[in-house]
Amino acid sequence: MIGFVKDARNMILDLNRVSPFLRIWGPALNIPHVVGGLVFIGRYEAALVLATSVFSVVVAAQIHKRSPFSRLTSLVHIVWLPLFPLLLEVLMTEGAVGAFGIWLAYVVVTMGVSLVLDAWNLILYVFTRNNAFEGADA
């Protein structure tokens, strides 16, 4: 198995083992982003979502490999910061009409929620001793 795929698999298994929230949130966030990115690959927005989602999981797996359950894993979504306003603008211009529009609305909502959660995780990491996901939501 390719190293980064194995690392991502191990991270997912570890997070599923210790976090009931991430057991649900991880697939709800990533699977629709990747599948929709593939389905709508002809749209540059979908290609960007696909690329940033795969990149985020690969980098998160490397962070997890070196520092398991670290809240620093939230840094991987920094690539979404320039993408989020672009997707929001496209959604507001085109609306949530048709399959692409509905998928884009889902991406914008889940990406927005994730960015808020990421900001919270980074605040906890920097200003408290609560630096790990492990047991944080148990």
* Contact (CB, 8 A) for 35 and 53: no
Which residues fall within 8 angstroms of residue 115, CB to CB, at 6 or more apart?
77, 80, 81, 84
- Per-residue pLDDT, 138: 42
Domains in the chain: boundaries: 3-127
DSSP, residue by residue, 62-96:
HHHHHSTTBGGGGGGGGGHHHHHHHHHHHHHHH-S
Who has greater pLDDT, 130 or 60? Answer: 60
Q: Nearest Cα to 84, choosing from 104, 65, 69, 64?
A: 104
How far is the first Cα of the chain from the last one, in angstroms, to the nearest whole number? Answer: 32
User: Residue 135: which pLDDT band, with cuts at 50, 70 and 90?
Assistant: low
Who has greater pLDDT, 94 or 74? Answer: 94
What distance in Å separates the CA atoms of residue 58 and residue 116, rounded to the nearest whole number?
A: 21
* Span 45-69, pLDDT tens digits: 999 999 999 999 888 888 888 887 7
* Span 9-41, pLDDT tens digits: 888 888 778 878 888 988 999 999 999 999 999
Question: What's the half-sphere exposure (Cβ side, CA atoms, 13 Å) at 28?
Answer: 14
Alpha-carbon dihedral of residues 34, 36, 42, 45, nearest 10 degrees? -80
* Span 76-113, pLDDT tens digits: 889 999 999 999 999 999 999 999 999 999 999 999 99
